[in-house]
Structure 1
Amino acid sequence: MLPFRFIHAADLHLDSPFAGMSGLTDRVRKHLQQSTFIALDRLVQLAIAEKVDFVVISGDIYDSANTSLRAQLRFTEALKVLDKEHISVFIIHGNHDPLDSPRLAVTMPPCVHVFGPESESVSGFRRCDGQEVAVITGMSYPTSKVKENISLQYSRRNHDSDLFHIGLLHANVDGNQDHETYAPCTKKDLIRSAYHYWALGHVHSRRILQESPHIVYPGNIQGRHIRETGPKGCYVVDVEETGNVNMQFHELDSVRWSVIEVPINPFQDTEELRLYIEERLTSIASSYDSGLSMVRIRLTGRGKIHRKLEDGFILDDMITELRRREDNRAGVAGFAGVVWVERFSLESGAEIQMERLLQEDSFMGEMLRLAAVQLDGDTGRDSVIHHALKPLMEQAEIRHLLSEVAPEEQKQWLRRAMELTAMLLLDDQQAGGASV
C-alpha cells in the first residue's frame, strides 16, 4: 500500500444565520456571520500547507436547502484554489443540502467529484506521482429526508487489492440522541463492510467511534450556537504503507462557544460575584487568544444574593457593561481574545431548604414535587410546559420563536418558576406569621 495524506471534514454549514441571538452589536453579528467562511478559508490553507493528496467533505456544505448565493460562490472560490494546487475534493450532500435543493448551476472545477444519489466508487490519487492509492465510495441525499440505512448500499471494489477504502457517509450511527435520525445505521453495519476508514458527517461533535477500521466524526468546522462548544475543525489523516492510520485534529474555528458554571454560594454581595466573573472571563481570553469566545454563564447554587439577581436588573447591567467593553476592544484590535457573554442563565436559588420543602405534606410540597417530576421528564404534549405554552402557540410569530427554544431551556423556565413560587409562598407565610 502506498502512503498518502487526506483531510476529512464535514458539516461546513456555510452562511449559517446564527438566528435567535439577542444583544449583538453590528460588529459582533457581522463577525459571527463571517465565521463559517473564515473556517472554510482556513480549511483550504490547511490543505495546501499540509500538502494533502485530497479532501473529503461528508455532507452539509450549506446550512439549508435554500442555499444562499453567497455561500455557493464562496465555496466555488475555495474549490478553485484547491484545483490550482491539484488537490482533489470528494463531496457528498446531506440532509441540510440535498441534491434537490434549489441552487445556482455552478460548474465545478475539474478536481471536484460530487457523489450522486446512488452509491458509487471513484479513485483517489497521490499528487506527487499520480498513483492510485484509495477507493472512495459515497452517495448524496436525494432529498432532505433519508430515513433508511443507506450504508447497506456501499460495496467494496477491488476487495483484495492494496488500495485503501474510504466510505463517505452522512448518517446517525448508533442512534445519537442529539441529532435527528437520518440514514440510521450501526457500527456493526460499518465494520462488516470491510472499509478501512468511514468518513462520517451529521454529528457536530468530534468523535472517533472505532479504530481499525476507523469510524470517525470530525464534527463541524465552526460552532454555531451554545450547544456546539469547544474547538471545531477537521482531521488530517496519514495512511502509512502498512495501512496504519494516524490522525491529527486541526482547529479551524474563529468563534468558540463555551459554558461556565459559577456557584453563587461563596459571595456575600453582587460586587464580589462581578469581580469573580471578570476573572473567569479573563482566563477564557488567555486560553483562547486567537478568536472570539462566546460564553454562557450558568449561575448555580443557593445564596443570599439570589433574590437580588432574580429581579434581572443587576444581571442586565452587568452583561451590558461586559459587552460594551469587549465590543470596544474588538473595534480597536480585532476579535482575538475577545470574550462575549452570550447570556446569563440564572439557575441559582434562594437560601431555602428545598429538600425539606419537597418532603412536606402541604400545598407547597405537592406543587414542588409535581414540578420536579416535570423537570425529570420530557417536554411533550402531556407536560406542564406544553400546556402552559399552548395559548402562545396560537400566534404564528411566537410559535416560530418557541420552536427554536431547546427543551432544556424550556425546563429552565419551569425551574425558575418553581424557585420563584417557593420564594413567594414562603414570604407570604412569613408575613402572615409576623402579623399574628
Structure 2
Amino acid sequence: MNSFRFIHTGDIHLDSPLKGLSGQDGAAADRIRTATRAAFHNLITRAIEEEVAFIIIAGDLYDGDWRDYHTGLFFVKQMGRLAKAGIGVFLLYGNHDAESQITRRLVLPENVNVFSARKPQTFRRDDLSVALHGQSFKQRDVTDDLVPAYPALIGGLFNIGVLHTGLGGMGGHANYAPCTLDELVNKGYDYWALAHVHQAAVLHERPHIVFCGNLQGRHIRETGQKAASLVTVEDRQVVDISPLHMDVVRWVHLVVTVDHCTHTNDAIDAIRKAIEHQVASESEGRLLACRIELTGRTEIHGQLLASEEYLIAEARAAALGIGDEAAWIERVVVSTIDPSSTALRMDALGDLQRMIGSAAEDTTLRAQFESELGDLVRKLPHDVRGDVEDVILKAAIDGDYVSLIAQVGDYLTARLATEGV
C-alpha cells in the first residue's frame, strides 16, 4: 500500500505589519507582533514530528517586499530544519509575494522547489507516485484564468494542483486567477491545494478541492481558529484531512450587552466578566486578541460614547488582571442605543440635536461635504480606503454624508452632555 501524508498551507504573511499595536508594549503586544513567525515555526516543528512527506505552500508566504533580510533568513532557517528531517517543500508565490513584489531574495535550500511564474510547472516525486502542478504569480494582479494552461494529469500518479485563486471572489477576497469549481473538478487532478481565501473549506471531495485558510489570524476580520491541513493519502485516495492548529493568537469579536447597566462602572464590570469567561472557555492556552463591542438600549449611551478612551483603558486593565498573556484588547466599540432621544429635550442639547438632524437633509451642506471631504478621501492611499474600520471615516470614504453627520452629531452631543452643557 502506497501511503503518505503531506501538509497543505498558505497565506502565512510572514512579518505582516499588525494594526492597533502602536504605542502598545508588554508580553501580549510582543506576542502579537511575532505571531506569524511563531505560528510558522510551530508548523515546521509539527511537520517534523508527524514525519510528513512534504509541505505545500500555496501562496502569500510573505506579506510583501521584505523590510530587511531578516524575514528571508527566518524562512531559510525553517527550511533548513525540514531539510535535515528529509522533508521537501513545494512553494508557490501568490499576489502578496508575486515575482514583481519581492526585490530582495536569498538562495533557498535544495529541498525547496519553487513553481515558475512564467508558465505552469510540474514537480514529480516518483518515490511517492506524486505529481505537483502549479504556477506562481508574476505580478500582483493576475486576472487571467491560469487553470487551462496547467498540464494534463499524469496517469498512475497522485496529481496535485497548487493554485492561488479567488475562485470567483469567495469571502470578499479579490478575484485573482479567477476560475470555477467545475473547472477544477474537470481537470482530473486528485487534490487541489488552494490559497488566497483565508477561511478554510473543503469545497469538493473526490477530487478534493481545499482552501487551507491562513495559518495565523492577523486582525479582527480573521477571528477564530486558524490552521494548516494535514492530508493523508492511501493508494492514490485522500482518506483524511485534519486541521493543524498552530496559531498562537486568536482574534475574538466579543459582544457585551449593557441593557441593564445604569452606570459606566456597571459596563466595565460586564466587560471584565466577558473577558474572563472568554479566556476560560475559548483560549485553549492561546492569547486572545479581543475587540469588544458594547450593544443594547441603555440610558448611559451618551456616557459610553464619550468615554471610549477610558473604557479601553479599563478593558485592558481587566485583561492584565487575568494574566500578562491571557488577553489583549484591540479596541472598544460603542454600538449602544439611547432609549430616549436627545432631540426631544427642550434645552440647548435638544436644539443642537435637532439642528444636526436637519443638517443631514440639507442638500447644500451635503454638497459642501462631498466637495471638500471628497477631495481629501481621493488622496488617501488605496490600502487605507479599502481597509478602514472607523465608522466615521468609512462613512466619508463611502460618501454616506447623512450617516457621517449623524455619527459626528451623536459624538458631539454625548461629549457636551457629559460636560454638563
- Give the TM-score range, shorter chain: 0.7 to 0.9
Q: Aligned letter for 2:246?
A: L
d(CA) in 2 for partners of 1:55, 1:171: 19
Cα distance, 1:279 vs. partner?
1.3
TM-score by length of 2: 0.83
**What's the secondary structure of 2:218's corresponding residue?**
coil
- How far the C-alpha of 1:291 sits from its partner, in A, is 2.0
Q: 1:405 aligns with which of 369, 388, 392?
A: 388
- Superposed displacement of residue 31, structure 1: 2.1
Q: Does residue 1:299 correspond to 2:273, yes or no?
A: no
CA distance in 2, matches of 1:171, 1:132: 27
Q: Tell me by how many angstroms 1:367 deviates.
A: 7.2
CA deviation after TM superposition for structure 1 residue 410, in Å: 4.4
- The answer to whether the Cα contact below 8 Å between 1:121 and 1:157 also exists between their aligned partners in 2 is no
Equivalent residue for 1:358? none
CA distance in 2, matches of 1:423, 1:41: 45
Pairing of 1:264-275 with structure 2 (within 5 A): 264-275=258-269
**Aligned pair 1:343/2:320, yes or no?**
no
Q: Which amino acid aligns with 1:133?
A: S
2:309 maps to 316
SS in 2 for 1:91: strand
CA distance in 1, matches of 2:23, 2:315: 12
Greater alpha carbon shift after TM alignment, 213-222 vs 258-267: 258-267
The change in CA–CA distance for 1:256 and 1:177 in structure 2 (over 3 A counts) is closer
Give the 3 Å change call, closer, same or farther, for CA 369–241 of structure 1 in structure 2: farther
Deviations 1:141-168 (A, max 9, x none): 1111211011221123323x1x211111
Give 1:424 shift. Answer: 8.3
Q: Which residue of 1 aligns with 2:240?
A: 246
Q: Is the 8 A contact 2:131 2:159 kept in 1?
A: yes
**How far off its partner does 1:383 sit?**
11
TM-aligned CA deviation for residue 241 of structure 1: 2.3
How far has the Cα of 1:363 moved from its partner?
9.0
- The one-letter code of the counterpart of 1:158 is I
Q: Please, which of 132, 137, 140 is the counterpart of residue 136 of structure 2?
A: 140
Match of 2:11 in 1: 11
Q: SS at the partner of 1:132?
A: coil
Could you tell me which amino acid in structure 1 is paired with residue 274 of structure 2?
R
- Read off the aligned partner of 1:153 and give its amino acid letter: A
Under a length normalisation based on structure 1, what TM-score does the superposition of the two structures give? 0.81
Moved more, 223-232 or 29-38: 29-38
User: In the alignment, does 2:139 pair up with 1:151?
Assistant: no
SS of structure 2 residue aligned to 1:90: strand
Q: Deviations over 1:164-203 (max 9, x none)?
A: 1111100111222521121111101111101111100111
Match of 2:124 in 1: 123
1:222 is matched with 216
Q: In the alignment, residue 282 of structure 1 is paired with which amino acid?
A: E
> Could you say which residue in structure 2 is the equivalent of 1:25?
25
> Does the 8 Å contact 2:253/2:290 carry over to 1?
yes
> C-alpha distance in 2, partners of 1:284/1:97?
35
1:254 CA displacement: 0.9
Counterpart in the other structure of 2:350: none
Instruction: State how far apart, in whole Å, the 2-side matches of 1:285 and 1:171 are.
Output: 35
Map of 2:51 onto structure 1: 51
Q: Does structure 1 retain, via aligned residues, the 8 Å contact 2:4–2:234?
A: yes
Q: 2:374 aligns with which of 390, 402, 408?
A: 390
* Matched-pair contact (CA < 8 Å) for 2:39–2:246: yes
Structure 1 stretches lacking a partner, 5+ long:
126-130, 355-361, 371-381, 429-436
Q: CA deviation at 1:392?
A: 3.6
1:67 and 1:101 in contact (8 A); partners too? no
Amino acid at match of 1:32: I
1:20/1:404 contact within 8 Å kept: no
Percent of counterpart pairs with the same letter? 30
Amino acid at match of 2:124: S
